Amino acid sequence: MYSFTEENYLKTIFYLSIGAKEGVSTNALADSTNTRAASVSDMLKRLAEKGLINYQKYRGVTLTEEGERLALLVIRKHRLWEVFLAEKLQFGWDEVHVIAEELEHIRSERLIEKLDAFLGYPKFDPHGDPIPNAAGEMPRFIYRKLSEIVEGTTVVMTGVSEHSPAFLQHLDKAGLTLGCQLKVNEISDFDKSVSVLIDNVRTLFVSHEVAKNLLVK
């Protein structure tokens, strides 16, 4: 059994590793976990001893196979609880993350498998992120950002790359929800803002800042 803290480190290392070719740095971890570099160094020693990370002093870390499996199981729990909170308890997608941060550490395999069944084996969480399976495997979808779509193209909103409540609430106000159809009418030369036709009904201007964080396919 691993502590909440250890589980959180694994998860953080997993996320910081995405798309990185080097190991994750001590400072990056200190930032993400709101601790000091010295505390991170300490913890890395312990995680390395337990065989969950590959660690050489001053070099940065990567997860071992076992470490990644565990990280993905925590992420699985996190995302399944987010689905539960959003679909069954009617929480907004801007509210589910903080609560799931606690629920993800509940240790019962049976619980999570039954929850999965109760939710109808969802494949994605409320933010469009894929849910790893019980073996700790997760499909990797490669979506484009709305900001990269050329004029005239029609796409579907499949996810967000920014999960802050402020951003999600902004999308709520704009009426942008997962699954909606977006036709890119025009991209402004001036500020790169995007004029999109939503579900063939109404037109909306989306700032470049927002467009960068909208994932589409």
The window from 37-45, 157-165, 177-185, 194-202 that contacts DNA (CB under 7 A) reads: 37-45
* 97, interface contact from Mn ion, a copy of itself, DNA, none, CB < 5-8 Å by kind: Mn ion
The window from 11-19, 126-134, 174-182, 195-203 that contacts Mn ion (CB under 5 A) reads: 126-134
For 1, residues 6+ apart whose C-beta sits below 8 A from its C-beta are 107
Q: Give me the least distance between CB of 7 and Mn ion, in Å please.
A: 14
Structure tokens at 144: 């484009």
Q: Per-residue x/- mask for Mn ion, residues 69 to 108, rule CB under 5 A?
A: -------------x--------------x-----------
Q: Does 114 bind DNA (CB under 7 A)?
A: no
- Nearer to Mn ion by C-beta: 23 or 132? 132
Q: Give me the least distance between CB of 7 and a copy of itself, in Å please.
A: 13
Structure tokens at 81: 């609880």
161, with CB counted inside 10 A (0-12, 13-18, 19+), is middle
- Where does this chain bind a copy of itself (CB under 8 A)? 85, 88-91, 95, 98-99, 102-103, 106-108, 110-111, 114-115, 118
Q: Per-residue x/- mask for DNA, residues 41 to 80, rule CB under 7 A?
A: xxxxxx--------x-xxxx--------------------
- Nearer to DNA by C-beta: 4 or 141? 4
- Nearer to Mn ion by C-beta: 31 or 101? 101
Distance (Å, rounded) from C-alpha 3 to C-alpha 193? 45
Residues within the interface to DNA (CB under 7 A)? 3-6, 25-28, 33-46, 55, 57-60
